[in-house]
Structure 1
Amino acid sequence: MLRMNASFMLVTLAVLKALAVAQGSNPSVMIVLLVRNKETYLPYTLSQLSRLDYPKERLALWIASDHNQDRSAEILHTWLERYSLPYLSVEAFVNASSPSLRPDERSAVRLSPGRLRAVGDMKQEALKRARTLGIDMVWFLDADVVLHDRSVLRRLQSVRKPVVAPMLRSAGGYSNFQPSIGRTSPQEEDAFPRIYSGRVRGCFAVPLVRSCVLMDLRDPRTASLTFVSQSCELQREVETLDDAVALAISSRNSGLKMTVCNGEDFGLTPVPLSPTQELKDEWQNLLAMKLETLIDHPPMSVVPLMRLFLPPPPTKSRLGFDRIYVIGLGRRPERWRRLKACFDEIGIEAVRMLAVDGRKLTDEFLEERDIHPRGEGRKRFINKGEVGCSLSHYYIWRDVIKHNLSRVIILEDDSHPSADFPARLRQLVDEVDRLRPEWHFLYLFREAAFPDDFEPVEGSEHLVRPGFSYTTLAYALTRSGAETLLRDDPLKNLLCVDHYIPLMSGEVLFSEWMEVYPSAGTLRVYSGRENIIEPVKRIGEHGFVSDCTEVDDLFGEVSYGNEVEECNMETLT
């Protein structure tokens, strides 16, 4: 146990409170951190505290940890010895010798009544201590929360609400707020997706917040708030009567509203483990959070001391393929950095291929290479962005033949793998190799023209024969597939690659180009029933960029402008 002398703590607090009044500056805040079996997250959580944009002399720490089966106690001791000195006060109750389970527990994952009571009691004790010390605000922070913004505490304070939390997302659509306690009305049901998706933005009154909650003790209405439930009229309605529910009920009974803010991407919280899972599954949760972070933020990192507690990086592989290509614009290096960081996390070895930039295409360039862009169907033009897309993939198909590669994966650099991408890929490839060993082309992501337009492959759980599909964001290709795609010299009548693949697979039944391409219909194309990789951004999402619409110059017989968007992938340099 590490605990500072109480009299020293009180004197220090009094002096600094006087200084704060004189400077008109930061309220004192007690950070309450309860830790149990959080070795997976602790190096990152504690690093966040070290980097928090708030004066350490205005922060008090109240930390409790027991009944661990991992290195949580060791991590806490190591961090406290190095980083605790500047804080206003530190009270840390770290029991490294307590049994791994409480008397009524069957596993460290299952939430037993005794465990729920213990968590509520510890938070109540911390709240009482903060009131005794005259602390202005208490920040109850879960040990597995990932925060993107170093100034999040200041932002929560600026909301000026008695109980406020930033909205935290998770890879599974779980969040740290609820639109109701107990039975849910249709209006409350609609509130969650509207707030969670960001369709409405701001700060909203909600019945329950958890995981990252700031409480302002200067507001007299917070005097009756408690984490300990005396009696609960909703006992039969709520699934789990935990500390957050107890706080929500006491808040409601006090006539006080809780607030959640979604004005920005504040951070992440993991999906809670189910009773059938094990502690080791937290590593997969952390991996999902790391990948989610990379969509809009730099990679998660730790302070140097915490590197001692990180596992070694995964061994990289090509997932059973000869090569994994990533094609992207040379003028967008940040996309390659993001995807490479994802690959570093999940253990993928890939090569970057700079491709054709539609901005730089000229008529002279195309004439010298005997390249003739063509429109297709009702879209009688093709823009330079789409030509860049098609040429980028064409040159990789040629590279497959040149280097005699048996099978490859081709990804555009705006693809984003999930934590289970390698496992799902192996599962899908095993099925196609077993059931359709003659396959040429395997969509890993596709946009179907009609959602139900596919034919299940007999004997397969995941494999289908897809109908007309857009995008070449991510696919696997065999050497024979590359030969088929190149056989009829596609440069002489270069179509948007989104049209060319369906044409060659026989999904375009009426086209003027059927006679031009004798091999049309011979490309053996399959797909997973569900996509196993996703785009990092979709059309309409903040930050989405498509170079197909960015380049306005057109090729083709007639220009209708750029209102028809049928090649919604990246143009590659």
Structure 2
Amino acid sequence: MPSPAAWLARCWERAARARPPGRSEARRRPAGLALVSEGRLRGRLLPAGKAALGAPGEAMAAAGPRRGAWLALAALLAWSGGRARGYFPEERWVPESPARPPRVLLALLARNAAHSLPAALGCLERLRHPKDRLALWVATDHNVDNTTAVLREWLMNVQNMYHSVEWRPMEQPRSYLDEEGPKHWSNSRYEHVMKLRQAALQSARDMWADYILFVDADNLLTNPDTLGLLIAENKTVVAPMLDSRAAYSNFWCGMTSQGYYKRTPAYIPIRKRDRQGCFAVPMVHSTFLINLQKEATRSLVFYPPHPDYTWAFDDIIVFAFACRQAEVQMYVCNKEVYGFLPVPLRSHSTLRDEVESFMHVQLEVMVKNPPVESSRYLSVPPKIPDKMGFDEVFMINLKRRTDRRERMLRALYEQEIDCKVVEAVDGKAMNTSQVEALGIKMLPGYKDPYHGRPLTKGELGCFLSHYKVWQEVVERGLEKSVVFEDDLRFEIFFKRRMMNLIYDLEEEGLDWDLIYIGRKRMQVEHPEKAVPHVRNLVEADYSYWTLAYVISLQGAQKLLDAQPLSKMLPVDEFLPVMFDKHPVFCPGMYFLLGKWFLLSCSLALFQVGFYLLWPCHLSEAKNTGQLKWISLSVVRSGVASSRGCWTATSIVPDCWPGWLGLMGARVQASEEQLH
């Protein structure tokens, strides 16, 4: 078969040799149509006299070659089998480019925030939004710390990364004339903050920003997608729900007719995320986004207050009223964990209180999330850990639980506490020969309430870990030491309260052996006896848990002298037994007792870090199955008492009655399913 080029050339040659028609043939053509073949070539019929060529003979002479060319082209297309494409093939089309990210003005107001800025600015740096589409508007005033210097250093280092920077520092005065302290919100302070927010809003409008994001200097936006998620909600005013150590957050669900906070049933389900979504609320504050593309935002103002405003002179209430007058609905979203904020302190609180309160926010973040890293563009001074006046600070941790070790070490470092890590005994890795070699024997008749057997390997390892600490205290002659387990959560102001407690003990010259500073009190129906002249200290009654405690040299020696390895109990049962605080067990049957001094903080300085019902919890001491609550009514020596515990359903019928029956107690066990 000839090639397409040769075949096409042959067709052109045949067309050139075609004889033009004579005049008589042209005369016989119908008068209404001219050059039908040419008209079809062009896709239409041409009227007579509209031929492209001059005389009819010339037109017919030219029609032959053109007709042959057209036939040749048609034949070529047919030969190609439909493989021909249009002039602009589909695969060469260029898709539309995506829209550019919206322009956002980030407004940051800071006062006496040098302690929180490194972490807060680090969170802002990690927001997933192109920095060339972000403008910074930063203001600070009336500082007694070095907030201005911190912000200036940060802005100098990041200014080239962002679209623009507006910097409004005020060095003087250092305080308001009508304020009582750095945490007191006077009318002058309210007015100044409203003016600053209004200036930021006007700057956003002047630069044609699409959005403005207001962020307080102590709010930690730990979720880097926060800005994008808020924009996607397409609300006029929307806030991310921020978590705190209490029920407090950055929104209200109710407002009184005078503009004050109102308790509503809707608040707690939203705050606890039992209900998730974006909810219409009368108030959001601290961190929120305004969509300036919405027409209604043209009426929004922070200052001056609306002419009809008669409520309290408060910046957040004034803005909420402005939104109401502009018919703008506020929303709060709790679909994800966006960040954290501190609980407001009282007006007479000090700057030191605020520093420690914010540090506790960072500790709470670490309970379920990675720690908040400081800004890379700030020079943060290193912390100087100490032992809080103790001879040693012990932290017990299993070597394979690196997650807990890293969290605890970071939490202690943030509080400037130095510690010694004690490698816990891994009871799960011990075999029978190792247990016998240590001379370990279980207390006769004891059955663990969780499994109906003497002890789990985890409880065995837990006891041996604490036993190791007691041995070191005695060997090194440590007069006073503190012991931490690795699954605790620090309460606010822990270090200061701990140091004050030890100071008061030494001032009073009290004799003591062991002091609980993290426990679960069991005898809650009877008040504990207060220790005279020492704040927040009581004589400890029956308690669970050994999260944290202070132990003296004589206390450690007494525990070792009891030779507990030969009659072992779980450590949180052993301590009440040794101090004769157990409601059931009679210690004189197995232990020689002297005079013991067991004390406790009336307000715990810790709480357990990982509860059994948390999905992330993995107990190293107990292997729990389906959980039920077992309430036990115990009668001993004519005195009724009650206690309870979480236990596995499989051992309810015989575990506690068997052990308590050995001690001569009458037990009535009632069981109800946990819902």
- TM interval, shorter chain, is 0.7 to 0.9
1:451 alignment partner AA = V
Partner of 1:411 in structure 2? 484
1:131-183 Cα offsets, whole Å, 9 max, x none, are 34332211111222222122221122233322211222344653221222336
Aligned residue for 1:401, secondary structure, equals helix
1:528 shift after superposition? 1.2
Output the CA distance in 1 between the equivalents of 2:261 and 2:166: 45
1:264-319 Cα offsets, whole Å, 9 max, x none, are 33222234454323445432233223322332333333334311xx34413x3222
Output the CA distance in 2 between the equivalents of 1:562 and 1:408: 38
Partner of 2:383 in structure 1? 313
Partner of 1:36 in structure 2? 111
8 Å CA contact retained: 1:146, 1:269: yes
Matches within 5 A, 1:183-222: 188-222=263-297
1:431 shift after superposition? 4.1
2:294 alignment partner AA = D
Structure 1 pair 254/373, CA: closer, same or farther in 2 (3 Å)?
farther
Partner of 1:94 in structure 2? 169
Partner of 1:181 in structure 2? 255
1:94-114 Cα offsets, whole Å, 9 max, x none, are 344x43345655655432323
Structure 1 pair 545/249, CA: closer, same or farther in 2 (3 Å)?
farther
Output the CA distance in 2 between the equivalents of 1:343 and 1:44: 17
Output the CA distance in 2 between the equivalents of 1:129 and 1:440: 64
1:522 shift after superposition? 4.3
Work out whether 1:495 is the aligned partner of 2:555: no
Q: Structure 1 residues 360-369 or 180-189, which shifts more? A: 180-189
Partner of 2:404 in structure 1? 335
1:445-466 Cα offsets, whole Å, 9 max, x none, are 1111122432223444322112
1:42 shift after superposition? 2.7
Work out whether 1:538 is the aligned partner of 2:611: yes
Alignment match of 2:416 (pick from 347, 361, 369): 347
8 Å CA contact retained: 2:427, 2:458: yes
Structure 1 pair 509/296, CA: closer, same or farther in 2 (3 Å)?
closer
8 Å CA contact retained: 1:549, 1:562: no
Output the CA distance in 2 between the equivalents of 1:187 and 1:119: 24
Output the CA distance in 2 between the equivalents of 1:279 and 1:292: 20
8 Å CA contact retained: 1:358, 1:551: no
1:408 shift after superposition? 1.7
8 Å CA contact retained: 2:131, 2:163: yes
1:172-231 Cα offsets, whole Å, 9 max, x none, are 653221222336999943333333334444433221111110111223343332223224
1:378 shift after superposition? 7.7
Matches within 5 A, 1:70-109: 70-96=145-171, 98-101=172-175, 108-109=182-183
1:514-553 Cα offsets, whole Å, 9 max, x none, are 412233x74321111111222223343453332233488x
Work out whether 1:121 is the aligned partner of 2:195: yes
Output the CA distance in 2 between the equivalents of 1:319 and 1:68: 30
Partner of 2:306 in structure 1? 230
Partner of 2:120 in structure 1? 45
8 Å CA contact retained: 2:399, 2:423: yes
Partner of 1:450 in structure 2? 523
Work out whether 1:262 is the aligned partner of 2:338: no
Runs of 5+ unmatched residues, structure 1: 1-20, 553-558, 567-573
Alignment match of 2:467 (pick from 358, 371, 394): 394
Output the CA distance in 1 between the equivalents of 2:411 and 2:461: 25
Work out whether 1:485 is the aligned partner of 2:559: yes
User: Structure with the greater relative contact order (CA < 8 A, sep ≥ 6): 1 or 2?
Assistant: 1
Aligned residue for 1:399, secondary structure, equals helix
Output the CA distance in 2 between the equivalents of 1:329 and 1:221: 58
8 Å CA contact retained: 1:383, 1:551: no
8 Å CA contact retained: 1:324, 1:350: yes
8 Å CA contact retained: 2:252, 2:261: no
Work out whether 1:376 is the aligned partner of 2:376: no
Output the CA distance in 2 between the equivalents of 1:321 and 1:367: 35
Work out whether 1:111 is the aligned partner of 2:185: yes
1:365 alignment partner AA = Q
Partner of 1:16 in structure 2? none
TM-score (structure 1 length as normaliser): 0.83
Structure 1 pair 459/363, CA: closer, same or farther in 2 (3 Å)?
same
Work out whether 1:288 is the aligned partner of 2:360: yes
Percent identity reads 31
8 Å CA contact retained: 1:325, 1:411: yes
Structure 1 pair 408/465, CA: closer, same or farther in 2 (3 Å)?
same
2:431 alignment partner AA = T
1:504 shift after superposition? 0.9
Output the CA distance in 2 between the equivalents of 1:113 and 1:407: 50
Runs of 5+ unmatched residues, structure 2: 1-95, 626-647, 657-675
Partner of 1:7 in structure 2? none
1:252 alignment partner AA = R
Aligned residue for 2:577, secondary structure, equals helix
8 Å CA contact retained: 2:255, 2:262: no
TM-score (structure 2 length as normaliser): 0.72
1:352 shift after superposition? 0.7
8 Å CA contact retained: 1:291, 1:418: no
1:79 shift after superposition? 2.4
2:151 alignment partner AA = L
1:350 alignment partner AA = C
Output the CA distance in 2 between the equivalents of 1:376 and 1:535: 26
1:122 alignment partner AA = L
Alignment match of 1:252 (pick from 319, 324, 337): 324
Aligned residue for 1:268, secondary structure, equals coil
Structure 1 pair 468/377, CA: closer, same or farther in 2 (3 Å)?
farther
Q: Structure 1 residues 134-143 or 479-488, which shifts more? A: 479-488
Output the CA distance in 2 between the equivalents of 1:66 and 1:463: 42
Work out whether 1:147 is the aligned partner of 2:221: yes
Partner of 1:161 in structure 2? 235
Greater gyration radius: 2
Structure 1 pair 79/37, CA: closer, same or farther in 2 (3 Å)?
same
Partner of 2:639 in structure 1? none
Output the CA distance in 2 between the equivalents of 1:249 and 1:59: 29
Output the CA distance in 2 between the equivalents of 1:447 and 1:103: 47
Alignment match of 2:436 (pick from 354, 367, 374): 367
Output the CA distance in 2 between the equivalents of 1:434 and 1:250: 57
Output the CA distance in 2 between the equivalents of 1:415 and 1:52: 31
1:351 alignment partner AA = K
